[in-house]
Chain A
Amino acid sequence: MNIKNDITFEYSILRAMKKIRAVEEEIASRYSEGKMRCPTHLSIGQEAVPAVLSSFLDKDDLAVSTHRGHAHYLAKGGDLPAMIAEIYGKSTGCSKGKGGSMHLIDRSVGFMGTSAIVGNSIPIGVGLGFALQLEETKNLSVVYFGDGATEEGVYYECLNFAALHKLPVLFVCENNHYSVYSPKAVRQPLNRSISAVASAMGVKSFNLDGNNVVELIDKFSSLVTNIKNGGGPILVECETYRWREHCGPMFDDDLNYRPNKEIEGWRSRDPIKAYIEELMLTPAQIQAINNEIATEVNASFQFAEDSPFPDESEAMLGEFAK
């Protein structure tokens, strides 16, 4: 397939990014209503990586993610109304109201869960990849995590095991340069790249611009194929930036933990805006996409609002599987 000439394909990536952005903006605008009563980590500014990567995955490929998992869930095809209902704590939520924003799952599309603990889902994603290898499938497991997780011991244990067994795992590090308010410079030595360390561990690694959709399409296309052909694990370090606060709907630039110049620089590199320019779409075409997404997003919030809470007795059920 000549991807460059396939406008449907490119449209779908743009649409996926715009949908994530629209959902997150809607959460942000409604959050103060006090109906979404759980910690919520928005992905605004970081839409490109999951949107592009997912376009090369099918539902039998698996993925796990983190506290900042909305974009990964949605890009993988996770059910939108069920995600919003989950954030609202409703019985129709994707985790039946027991998980909230940080614990999303949609098994029907291979999205196997997200975790609130830094680094916690990495070995689980590797275990899923290990299972796929044992099952002798051609599928792969995608493990999303941030730069903070690369400071956890379990991350290195997982790189080692994946390299040792040549597992079909794609490690996707979204390096947004901050762990909450702590810049990477106070956490890791300068001039040591995450991808270089992973390479030294025996996992083929690439450093990508996480906001450059064209570059991501080019890379992910071949990397996914490589893994599916039994080439072993790969890590991509995708540099990107979160626009809003670590947790919650607001901007927190007044705290001055990030230099203004840096914020402005990244905001001027909005992956969605840049890709629209790349595709040379007309305002009418963009409006059509926006309208379609707005309808879907509004319907999802309405679904969440209209859904019942789980019965209080549900809290005491489900400790063990039967």
Chain B
Amino acid sequence: MTTNITKYSDAISETISIAMAEDDKVLCFGLGVTDPKEVFGTTQGLLQKFGPKRVFDTPCSENAMTGIGIGASMRSFKPIMTHQRLDFFLLAMDQLVNSAAKWHFMFGSQVSIPITIRLILGRGWGQGPTHAQNLQAWFAHIPGLKVVCPSNSADAKGLLMASIFDPNPVVFLEHRWLHNSTSEVPSGYYELPLGKANVVVNGTDLTIVTSSYMVSECLDAATYLQKEHNISCEVIDLRTIKPLDYETIFKSLEKTENILCVETSAGSFSVSSEIISRVMEEEHAQKKYKAGKISLPDMPEPTGYSLTKNYYNNADDVINKVLSMTNNYEITKPIIRHSLHHDIPGDWFKGPF
């Protein structure tokens, strides 16, 4: 398989382009998809290739536009709808929860709703209380929705392709800090299965279950822990929050007997809580397994620079949590993260956010 080093945001636009060429029922719309910035480059070139009937900007009407996508999908169109922040999409909860998630079930499986809803998650640079929420647990809580959260360019391509052609509504979560990341991406049509986690690193001492932006932080932490502390972490990238691949998690736990969940959302009532709860429901699990969780505080994200200093987690927090779970101690930070500023993905980053 040929691959190209591809930026995450380019992988998104490339995937949409391939899907639209593959199937003329695929549509792409949302606020800004045809504007000069093309949603951080994720919709670049689509208007020129596929024309204004299939690629178009929309009114600021999140709820109606979601319903309109649902209606079109009942005529076998496959709309990809884009929102520059998840937080704007909250106005569309009625259409997401009462329509998209329900119409297949409540009409006795006579209609399906093949829509993909791209939501971008903000972080840092003063994104604040209403531009940085990852409400993945809300979406995963609703029967009838699939929830996907790719951590790298290749997964973004494979999972977005699968989401577009899945006959169900899919909430597709893109972390803004990943848009500039690069990785080897298979060229041409490429699909990954929804509901299947990826064991990124094999290990024997502890299983780290993570997703989205925190995967790269966990991978760096795992490398350091192996090298400096001889602790072998298995790192599982969930790829999909719903359906959730418990099989892969349980298989890993049989080996490691320790689980650390690391996520980009608030901790209470979270995906991590759900996974740990499910693990603990298993017979003998409570005696056998040790569980931990790294998440955001149960507080709105403050906007000011100083107040966000300890709000987010990075590889150093993962290292210390693993050390405390396995060896009962922590070490002084910074450990491997020495960025000048905590509110940007790296000192190279100049925005936009």
Name A's B-contacting residues (CB within 8 A).
Answer: 64, 93-99, 103, 105, 107, 112-113, 115, 117, 119-132, 134-135, 141, 153-154, 157-158, 160-161, 164, 318-322
Contacts and interface: CB of A to CB of B under 8 A. Distances in A.
Contacts of B94: 117, 119-120, 154
Closest 3 CB pairs of A and B: A127-B71, A123-B67, A96-B108
A98 to B, nearest CB: 5
A135 B53 CA distance: 11
Contacts of A129: 71
Which of A97, A99, A107, A132 lies at the interface centre, i.e. has the most chain B CB atoms within 10 A of its CB? A99
A171 to B, nearest CB: 13
Contacts of B112: 321
Nearest to A143: B71
A123 B108 contact: no
A132 B75 CA distance: 8
A207 B58 CA distance: 30
23 contacts: A103-B107, A105-B108, A113-B103, A113-B111, A117-B98, A120-B67, A122-B67, A123-B66, A123-B70, A124-B74, A127-B67, A127-B69, A127-B70, A127-B73, A128-B74, A134-B27, A153-B63, A154-B61, A154-B63, A154-B94, A318-B104, A319-B105, A319-B144
A321 B63 contact: no
Contacts of A158: 61, 64, 67-68
Given A134-B53, A161-B64, A123 B71 contact: yes
Nearest to B75: A131
B68 A322 contact: no
Which of B58, B103, B110 lies at the interface centre, i.e. has the most chain A CB atoms within 10 A of its CB? B110
A95 B95 contact: no
A134 B77 contact: yes
A99 B168 CA distance: 19
A123 B72 contact: no
B70 A131 contact: no
A174 to B, nearest CB: 20
Contact of B110 (A107, A127, A130, A322): A107
Contact of B59 (A99, A131, A157): A157
Given A120-B98, A127-B69, 10 more contacts: A113-B111, A123-B66, A124-B70, A125-B71, A128-B71, A318-B108, A318-B109, A319-B144, A320-B104, A320-B146
Given A130-B68, A130-B72, A131-B75, A99 B111 contact: no
Contact of B68 (A94, A99, A123, A153): A123
B126 interface: no
B143 interface: yes
Contacts of B223: none
B65 interface: yes
Which of A99, A124, A128 lies at the interface centre, i.e. has the most chain B CB atoms within 10 A of its CB? A124
Given A98-B105, A318-B109, A320-B104, A157 B98 contact: no
Contacts of A134: 27, 53, 72, 77
Nearest to A119: B94
Nearest to B194: A320
Contacts of B77: 131, 134
B75 A126 contact: no
A235 B73 CA distance: 24
B107 A124 contact: no
B345 interface: no
B167 interface: yes
A127 B72 contact: yes
B106 interface: yes
A313 to B, nearest CB: 14
Contacts of B111: 105, 107, 112-113
A321 B110 contact: no
B110 A105 contact: yes
Nearest to B63: A154
